[in-house]
Structures are given as structure tokens and as C-alpha cells.
Structure 1
Amino acid sequence: MSALLDHLQTFIAFRTVGNDSATKAACLDWIETTFLSSSGLELVRGDVQGASYVFLRHPKPKMLWFGHTDVVPGSDDQFTLTSRDGRAYGRGVKDMKGADLTFLIAYKEACDRGAVPPVSVLLTSDEETGGHTPGELLDAGTLGVIPVAFTPDTGDTDAIVTEMKGALWVRVVATGKSGHAAMPWKSENPVPVLMEAVAALQKKFPQPSGDAWGVTLTPTLLSGSDARNRIPDEASCTVDVRFPPTVCKTPGEMFSLLQKLVPAGCRLEIVESADPMFCDPAHPLVRQIKAVADAVTGSSIPIGRDYGSSDARFFTARGIPAFLYGPVGGDLHGAKEWVSVKSLEEHVEINRRLFKELS
């Protein structure tokens, strides 16, 4: 097994899931010791609402590189790396521990040569749980001046991502009067009202038959009675809404649009939200990374968009250009999450060449 895969095995063995703050901190300890200690730069350790982070501050950064070390839960076997047919499998190999490693390995090599890249580094541990570490650190001034931010936290696209949808998780709530299901005339059942509300939302935003850059609205969680023969006094459905910046510029605009669609007897509650992200594809660093990636991979890397959301939104919402480009992989959050070993190796080389150009 190569040194890269050896490191990846160690990395994914840290079960950095949920609110396990001790494991998240231990994982960052390993990263600090293994990859960052030779930089000689000021290193800041802290946490935001219990989620640990590491920030390596360069005095004159040409960019901020950022990534996250937390992952979604997985089966026990997913925390042991396996590889076959040019792919590595395990929880976080693509999202995004493998992607993190491609930067960290090249960064340590440069530091060990005494050529510390002009890059500040931020590693967080709450991206998968909807945390706000980058936003809080930006607002506190901890990260200093950032000319541009870059992360390899892409989905299953092989493109350089300069645009991502905004996200809004909304709870649709219908209220009624509880009672025995055998005598429904004595109660006010909120379930039919909830069904009407969800149907109205889906009529406005029907499920697309394929790839779609418009608004998607997906019911995900249902809650109602605590017994099969009891009419509840409240029923709810959580919906996942994704919207491009061409439709709504903010989650607030999207929420106002949804409120106009639900019938009387229902209310909407915001559970969580994320701003859409947009970066000018002609930004100099976007073009520079594309040129390096084209040279390393021997192909023309497209510049495109992604359906998901990432911490890049915290930067663009504050007027800081941010974009994404990561290794090839698939089945993110799934039972067969994988990453291309060749692509990991290419991204290490991309980072090596980028550091030389930035220096």
C-alpha cells in the first residue's frame, strides 16, 4: 500500500461523526503532528459549539485552503480502508478525507523543503452536521484577510465548481385537535391538511425526471401520532429545498415564496438554511488551477456547478471569492463510497505544482 493510502487508512479510522468531540479533536491532533508541524506558522486551535478546528495562519496568504474532517455515520467496516480495481473504499474517502490528504501531503512536502506555501489553512469538524465554524471565525476576524478561498469538497462532479445551489430545510406543520381515531368527528385531524400542504408545494416544484438546475423540493421526514389509533394534535413534514441563485438570492427569499403556497391551518418553520454560492469562473485562481489541472490530468477540466452545498457558501456570502475542485469519486454518504486512487495521486501533484507557482 502506498504512503497516501496508508495515511488514508489512518485518517478514516477516526470516527469523526456527529457530536463526538473527543474523536474529532484527536483526528486534528494527528493532522497537526503529521502534516502541519513543520510549517513554522502560527497555529490556532479552538472549537465552535464543541466542534474542533485548526487554523494555520500565513502572514501574507494568497489564498485560504479549507476542508472538513467530519463524516456522516457508516457501518463498522466502512472505517477500514479497502482498495480494488483502482478505487479506495471507506467512509470519507471522497467526502472529504481523501481530498484533504491530497493537499496535506503536498503541503508537508513543501514545508519540509523550507518552501512554505503562501496559503492559510483551515480544517473544521462540523460541516456534515450543518455547523457554522467558518462563518463564525470570519465574523470574529480570526481568519484575517482572505483574498480567495478554495476547497476540494466537491460532490460526484469532476468539474471545477463555481456555482452551488442554496439550501433550505423547512418543517411544514399542521395543527388540529387530538382524539380517538374511531370517532374522527370529535377531533380535528391535521394529517389531511398536512397532505394538502405538501401536495401544493410539490405541485409548484415537481420532482424532475433527471438532472435539473431549477428548484427541487423533497419531503424527507414525517411526524404525527404516537399511536395508530390516535389522531394527533400536530403533524409535520420536513422538506429539503435546493434553489439556484437565479431563482432566489437568499434562503429568506425562498422561504417567502414557500409561505405563499401552503393552505390555512399550516405554518412553516425554518430548520436550517444555506446561501447559494457563486464565484466568477474567470477569477485568476480558478483559471490558474484549471491550467495546472489540465496539465496534470492531460484533459480539459470543465468549469461547472454542483447540486449540493458546502462551507464555501460562508465565504461568498461575505464577498470573498470561493470555489471547489476535488478528486473523482462517488456514492457520497453511501455504503460504497469510493475515490479514484489515480485521481488522488493527480491532485497531490496539482497541489505540488500550484504551491510552486504561488511561491
Structure 2
Amino acid sequence: MSEEQNRPLQLTAFCVRGEPISYADALRGTFTPIAAGDAWGPPWSTTWFHVQGKVPESWAGRRLGAQFDLGYDGPAGFTCEALAWKDGKPWRGVDSNHRWLPVEGPDIDFYLEAAANPRATEQGSEPAPSMIALRASPEPAFVLRQAVLTSRAAVEAESDEGPLDPRHKITSVGHAHIDTAWEWPIREAKRKVARSWSTQLALIEEYPDYVFAASQPAQYAWMKESYPDIYRRIKEKVAAGRWEPVGAMWVEADCNLPSGESLVRQLLHGKRFFMQEFGYETRILWLPDVFGYPGNLPQLIYAAGCDFFLTQKLSWNDTNKPEHHTFMWEGIDGTSIFTHFPPADTYNGSFSREEVERSVHNFKDGQSSNRSLYLFG
């Protein structure tokens, strides 16, 4: 991209230590100028960025966006992220996978609620950093690398690679796997859901054929309580068939340690929430990131009124990989449930050609089926 296609944006910042504050309270804060190269965000703090700028008249008719590098030092979920607020409402998420916000009109004016989330664990022999020490540290954890108005080509270049094998049919499903309990405070998990789901709502508006799937009624309940505008829009998209609640369980629960009664209650509370809130009964147990399953699970799935089970994590086994991708799983009481492992061996697909081809060539049940799911997002 040539130099004249980027213009710096004007930013001011207001840092909040401790627990996050509301958008209305943030507007009353004291904002000071900040620019690319400046440090921001002590660990676990929140920095509100006020983003302003003007679109040059000579750029009229171009595809424009505000592009950010907040100082990401890891993949999404392991580093800083932000929720963009526009006209007082949650707009879109900004993270290492979503760095670009669309710009319309001559004036640019919105806010970023940026979470300075440090990387909580490190692999290797060195001890992990103390979360308590990080929380108390006054030192900024990140450096703002980029905040520019940028011009993009209206049409992306098409791949000149050949077509994929047409005999195998892939249904691609956009979803956002978000651990309800992760390497950050629960309040950060709530903000992560708002960042991810506001982005999906924007994409649904942009792409008329796009349908998004999201599990875990617990996270819907968070949106209902803390982000009513996001929740209102989700309900509209569910009613329009553009957003599919999946999962059946209250959260994507561990299935190794809990008792059968605990799993029953996961199914009871999960299905009841979707039925009461959306008038929708999900028929699938959606557990892509669970590390194992008890032999009584088919019986519980069937008794809960579900017909299908989706999972994936066992494909990462280094020794005893699953022998099938699409099969009937028979439980210890003889109950059978239609089960599917997406053959791309991931639930966070990037839609690369390599992953899509893997869905075709890695599929182990081609003699009985020519269809599979591909989970991206």
C-alpha cells in the first residue's frame, strides 16, 4: 500500500484502572493526546480511545477504513483487544484478526474501549508471570503501533488456483468459540463476547447470505444483562433466520468430571433459555472444544430432545485419533446419536484453501457420505 493511501487519525486516551466503566462514564473522563509509538494500558486496565479524523475530498468514492494495531503480541484471545462504540452503541470488535473498521461519510468520530489483557501463560520452563503482580503493575503493557485512515481496493484479487473437488459438499458455519472461563477475569469474557458478537451482527448486515451460529446460553444472558442493544439485535437476527442458537448446554461444559445430574442440568437450563428467549428449540449438542465424553452422553442428548452431536477436539490427539468423522455414536444403554467431527480438524477455521482442501481429503467416511461441516471464525 502506497504512502498516500494512509492518513493518521487523531487519538486521545483515558485510562481506567480496576474494573471497566460504562460508555457514559467514559465520556466524562479526561482524555489526553496519544499517537503511534506511545505506550498505553497497564495490565488488566481499560483505555478508552477517542478516534477522530476527516476523509479527504479526493478520497470520495473509495472503500475506506480505520485500521489499528493496538500493539498485539499474540493471537486473538491472548492479547489486547477493543470494542468500538459508535453513536453510543457497541459497533464492532477490534483485535489481531479484525484490525479494520469501515468508514463512511466525511467525519470520523467513534471510541475504542481497549482492554489491556496480558498473555497469562507461557510455554516452556520459565515460570508464568504472577497475575496479581501484573494487576498491580503501573507499567504500560502495550505500544500503539498504528491508527490510520486507509483506502482499500473495492474488489480483492481473486485466486488463480484451480477449483476444489466438487464431489464433496461442505457447509461452512461461521461461529465464535469463546471459553466462558478463560485466562482472564470473567468480566473480560463478557466483554469478549460483546466484541465478537457485535462484529458478527455487522457482518450479517453486510453479507445477506451469511448465517452465524453461537452456543452457550450463559453468554446470551450476559448480553441481555450488560449489552441490551446487542441482545436486541441478536433476537431480531434469530427471528429472521440469520443467527442460529446452538449448543443445548448452558455452557460448553467439561464432560469428564461432572456427574450425570450436572450434565442433565446443563441441558435443561440451556434448552429452556433458548426456548423462553427465542421460541427456538436447538436440536444439536455443540461441544467443539471439549476434551472427552462419557458413555452416558448419547442417552442424555437424546433424552434432552437433541438429535445431533458435534465435536472436534479429539482430532488433535497425537496417538489414538478418531476413526470416523460422521457416524452413529452408541452409548452404554444402546442409545445412538448422529455425530460429526468436522474433517478440517479445527473449530477456528481461517477459510484458507489448505483447510478447505483438508475437509475434502481428510474425510474418513466418503463411502457413506459426501458432506461435512467447516467451522470458521
| TM-score computed with the length of structure 1 as normaliser | 0.25
| TM-score computed with the length of structure 2 as normaliser | 0.24
